[in-house]
């Protein structure tokens, strides 16, 4: 499959959760309020064929407080990491063969006024029927954080979605107002294009490497005082081009890089972004296919992801993370390995994931019947 040079439009293509999670903000203990819930509806727009998930009205309890420190619901995220509780919002069969090209997200109050996106801590769109590139776990197609803007990919690229694939939308709220929020509604629109587009887009799939990935266990880790780095070596099962990368780190994070183990060459590098107080507010993005086609990762070749921290305190910091994410264009998507729902890693990933609610309790609309 050839790759042309329209990647100047690629700046909108990298979707990673970039919300700041302070590694020093977790209290020793707390009480959990009940998990809120609300009706969920899944429909397909009869004109655009975009898949639309709507839910509400929600009543959101405020974050718990420990002294002056706001706390989220506990979800076993690991020591030192802000505690949250995520749940499966809805699980449904994908309705039609399409190119996924982006999303729009709108949150409103009971009067229809648009709410700040930070009302939601994050959302994830998961494809249970396709595995990740590096790990044999369920594919995380989209990660949307507090400050992730709406995204629409250029016509030259698209994420292929097949009719009948089992997908799910996960949600975690973030009510930091100090008071209960009532009548909150959310509309999540997944933007698609027909599969028979001409010219045919380049098929792209998510790229994700976690420097401390252990299925069934927290991916956070500890950094000692001073400078330190942690690395993770991996191979990919299919060759292809890495088109761009971003990522997620915590306070005291410096950079992440991807290296070719055999040659030592740095293939990609991103660094942390800071606010005026020096706190990490995100990670830079490197667009690798603007002046070329992006580095070519070869199946079976050994690569290394490195996460660098500079701990300016005199004590170890617990609960930091290093996750590199981006988009990957396989040479031939037909070579992508099939998901193995019986593998230990896949089962641990699902078993230790968010709190799952029965789909029938959510009463989603049949997405197939919604297509006109």
Residue 274 lies in a domain: yes
- The residue range of the domain holding 333 is 7-370
Residue 38 lies in a domain: yes
Residue 1 lies in a domain: no
- Tokens 């690229």 — which residue? 157
- Residues 169, 89: contact at Cβ < 8 Å? yes
Residue 44 lies in a domain: yes
- Residues 159, 14: contact at Cβ < 8 Å? no
- Tokens 């761009």 — which residue? 244
CA–CA distance from 358 to each of 41, 127, 313, 361 (Å)?
Answer: 14, 18, 45, 5
pTM to 2 decimals?
0.82
3-state secondary structure of 350: helix
pLDDT by 10s per residue, the chain, length 372: 434 333 333 443 444 433 333 333 332 233 444 556 789 999 999 999 999 999 999 999 887 644 333 333 323 333 333 344 567 889 999 999 999 999 999 999 999 999 999 898 888 999 999 999 999 999 999 888 776 778 888 889 999 999 999 999 999 888 888 899 999 999 999 999 999 999 999 999 999 999 999 887 888 999 999 999 999 999 999 999 999 999 989 999 999 999 999 999 999 999 999 999 889 988 999 999 877 789 999 999 999 999 999 999 999 999 999 999 999 999 999 999 999 999 999 998 877 554 433 333 333 333 333 332
Structural domains counted in the chain: 1
């Amino acid at each position: 499959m050839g790759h042309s040079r329209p990647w100047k439009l690629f700046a909108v293509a990298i979707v990673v959760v970039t919300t700041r999670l302070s590694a020093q903000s977790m209290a020793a203990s707390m009480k959990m309020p009940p998990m809120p819930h609300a009706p969920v509806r899944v429909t397909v727009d009869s004109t655009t064929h975009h898949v639309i998930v709507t839910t509400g009205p929600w009543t959101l309890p405020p974050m718990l407080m420990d002294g002056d420190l706001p706390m989220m619901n506990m979800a076993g995220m690991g020591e030192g990491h802000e505690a949250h509780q995520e749940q499966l919002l809805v699980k449904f069969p994908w309705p039609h063969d399409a190119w996924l090209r982006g999303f729009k997200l709108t949150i409103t109050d009971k009067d229809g006024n648009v709410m700040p996106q930070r009302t939601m801590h994050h959302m994830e769109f998961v494809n249970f029927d396709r595995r990740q590139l590096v790990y044999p776990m369920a594919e995380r197609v989209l990660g949307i954080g507090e400050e992730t803007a709406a995204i629409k990919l250029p016509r030259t690229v698209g994420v292929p979605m097949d009719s009948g694939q089992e997908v799910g939308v996960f949600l975690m709220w973030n009510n930091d107002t100090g008071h209960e929020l009532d009548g909150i509604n959310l509309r999540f629109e997944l933007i698609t294009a027909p599969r028979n587009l001409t010219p045919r887009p380049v098929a792209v799939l998510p790229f994700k490497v976690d420097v401390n990935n252990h299925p069934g266990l927290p991916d956070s880790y500890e950094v000692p005082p001073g400078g330190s780095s942690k690395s993770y070596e991996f191979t990919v099962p299919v060759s292809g081009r890495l088109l761009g990368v971003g990522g997620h780190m915590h306070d005291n994070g410096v950079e992440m890089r991807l290296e070719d183990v055999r040659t030592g060459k740095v293939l990609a590098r991103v660094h942390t972004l800071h606010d005026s107080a020096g706190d990490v507010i995100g990670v830079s993005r490197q667009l690798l296919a603007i002046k070329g086609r992006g580095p070519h990762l070869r199946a079976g070749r050994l690569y290394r992801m490195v996460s660098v921290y500079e701990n300016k305190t005199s004590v170890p910091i617990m609960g930091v993370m290093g996750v590199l994410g981006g988009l990957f264009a396989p040479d031939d998507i037909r070579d992508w390995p099939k998901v193995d729902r019986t593998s230990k890693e896949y089962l641990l990933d699902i078993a230790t994931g968010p709190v799952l609610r029965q789909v029938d309790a959510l009463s989603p609309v049949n997405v197939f019947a919604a297509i006109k």
